[in-house]
Amino acid sequence: MANGAALTLGPLRLVARWSLRSADHAGRFTFLMVDMLRGLAEWRIYLPRTVEQAMAVGYGSLFIVLLVAGFAGAVTSLQTGYQFTGTLPLYYAGAVISESMILELGPVLTALILAGRIGARYAAELGTMRVTEQIDALESLGRSPISHLLIPRVLAGLLVVPALTMFANATGIVVGYLTARGSLGLTYADFEYGARYFFRPLDLWYSLIKSYFFAAAVTTIPCYIGYNTQQGAEGVGRSTTAAVVAASVTILLLDALTTKVLLTAK
């Protein structure tokens, strides 16, 4: 009987503890976001740093984003050829490649890459600054870590991620077309016809809106986790991993949510 009670209490206690911890994180994350909104008035401080951060993460991420988008376009093109040759008109390949890139592959792949690249960078930088007391030092000088460290990073992400997503879309489509031309003998006229036939302006807006949501996830979550790092080098490692995982999972959740709300809601 006692063992049975202990077995029942164990999972209950775990769930209770997990719920409390989640509520604690949610509360602190919300307060941090409110602090960041308040800090927006201090533009003299964060604007120059935002430009610096945007240059660093934007240029630094461009190559890997374009590389992955190029491969995604090429593979989409080859798989389209594999599945539809002989069953559908060739110009459909133009539609599949461009719509796949704009609606899904461009934004999601870019965001997942940047969750690893920018997310890990932000969490590690802020975590290291926390455990080496650099954030305390900033506060002790009467300066706000929010406007000096967090706002520039988040704004830089909000500037850079959508721009990189658009570059990724374009690269994927171009490489997809070149691959289709080489493997399927698709002409530019057919490709353009297919792409235009199924294209709606909403698709591009959808891609852009999604990328803003992803940018928010890629920047705010790692900033929050890094900013609250504890316990030395091990803590920094833990924060970095947690930031990448949490940002990636949030991207997938937001992907499903935005698709439901923006594309399928009646």
Interacting residue ranges for other proteins, rule: CB under 8 A: 129, 132-134, 136-144
Give the shortest CB-168-to-other proteins separation in angstroms: 29
For residue 15, the minimal CB distance to other proteins (Å) is: 21
As measured in angstroms, the least distance from the Cβ of 159 to other proteins is 20
Nearer to other proteins, 39 or 119 (CB): 39
CB of 44 to other proteins, least distance (A): 8
Per-residue CA distances from 177 to 104, 143, 183 (Å):
17, 52, 10
Give the residue among 96, 104, 66, 98 at the shortest CA–CA distance from 206: 104
Q: State the nearest-atom distance from the C-beta of 213 to other proteins, in Å.
A: 30
| Cα distances (Å, whole numbers) of residue 84 to 87, 90, 96, 102 | 5, 8, 10, 20
Alpha carbons 245 and 40: distance in angstroms, whole number: 28
Q: Which is nearer to other proteins, 12 or 137 (CB)?
A: 137
- Tokens (6 digits) for 105: 């592959």
User: Which residue lies nearer to other proteins by CB, 2 or 141?
Assistant: 141
Radius of gyration of the chain (CA): 22
Among 158, 69, 160, 161, which Cα is nearest to 106's? 69
Which CB sits closer to other proteins, 139 or 202? 139
The C-alpha atoms of residue 64 and residue 71 are separated, in whole angstroms, by 11
What minimum distance in Å lies between the beta carbon of 38 and other proteins? 8
Task: Provide the token pair at 166.
Answer: 């658009």
Residue with smaller CB distance to other proteins, 187 or 235: 235
Smaller CB separation from other proteins, 141 or 265:
141
Instruction: Provide the greatest CA pair distance for the chain.
Output: 77
DSSP symbols for 44-76: HHHHHHHHHHHHHHHHHHHHHHHHHHHHHHHHH
